[in-house]
Amino acid sequence: MPAKTPRRRVFFSFHYDRDNWRTSQVRNIGAIQGSKPVSANAWEEVKRRGKAAISAWIDARIARGSCVVVLVGSETADREWVRYEIEQAWVEGKGLVGIYIHNLLDRDGKQSRKGRNPFDVEVDGVRLSDHVKVHDPRAKDSQRAYRRIANNIEGWVEDAVGEAEERRRARREAAGRSWLSRLLGIR
């Protein structure tokens, strides 16, 4: 029997105010090891210290993980800090994947509308939506959407980490070729 892959440590990126209830459902699946949820009070304390403190807080959590999972609700793509987290994950060579969560129920038992793809941005001249997958459970029923996420999230994260490893390998090879070309005077 092959050895089981250890649970990946991920950073969850989402719109806290609108989607915290939905994201807690995903975080509680347990197939992956997420960064510890931050309480509203702790987040407010970080925000009070300013943008540099927020950036440092996010950077430290992304650095500890192998993947950033963006939980996409109706307004996620418009959030400044979600965009920052996506860019940091890409630049740091972390796995990056999105999951639509609009069909999961909120605390009032309501679904929301599907949001825009938050990866429709360019980072270092690369359109991320050409490289990063966003999975849509495509279920009108909240329980079916939850089951599809629960049954697939581990594989989605593994795929994203594998793709990130391939991008890092390709960057190293390109850097090595560039260095050798400069050394040999080849253009």
**SS3 call for 118:** coil
Residue 72 belongs to what H/E stretch? strand 67-72
Q: What is d(CA 178, CA 172) in angstroms, rounded to the nearest whole number?
A: 10
Q: What are the residue boundaries of the structural domains of the chain, listed by start?
A: 9-184
pLDDT of 184 = 67
Round the average pLDDT of the chain to a whole number and report it. Answer: 88
Q: Per-residue pLDDT for 186 more than 90? A: no
pLDDT of 132 = 97
DSSP-derived pairing of the beta strands 67-72 and 95-100? parallel
- Please name the residue that has the structure tokens 């800090």: 81
Tokens describing residue 36: 């510890």
Helical pair 51-63 and 40-48, crossing angle rounded to 10 deg = 130
pLDDT of 42 = 76
pLDDT of 46 = 87
Question: Which architecture does CATH list for 9-184?
Answer: 3-Layer(aba) Sandwich (3.40)
Q: What is the pLDDT of residues 127-151, one digit of tens each?
A: 999 999 999 998 889 999 999 999 9
Neighbouring-strand partners of residue 93: none
pLDDT of 175 = 74
Overall average pLDDT of the 106-123 stretch: 95
Q: What is d(CA 45, CA 184) in angstroms, rounded to the nearest whole number?
A: 54
Tokens describing residue 149: 């996420």
| Residue 6 confidence class, pLDDT cut points 50, 70, 90 | low
Q: Per-residue pLDDT for 182 more than 90? A: no
Residues in the chain: 187
Residue 169 belongs to what H/E stretch? helix 142-184
Q: What is d(CA 3, CA 9) in angstroms, rounded to the nearest whole number?
A: 18
Give burial (CB, 10 Å; 0-12/13-18/19+) of 128.
buried
pLDDT of 29 = 85
Q: What is the pLDDT of residues 22-75, one digit of tens each?
A: 998 998 887 666 556 666 677 788 889 999 999 999 999 999 999 999 999 999
Q: Which of 74, 120, 86, 114 is nearest to 11 (CA)?
A: 86
Q: Which of 117, 86, 89, 103 is nearest to 22 (CA)?
A: 103
Q: What is d(CA 112, CA 181) in angstroms, rounded to the nearest whole number?
A: 53
Judge contact between 128 and 96, C-beta under 8 A.
yes
| Residue 183 confidence class, pLDDT cut points 50, 70, 90 | low
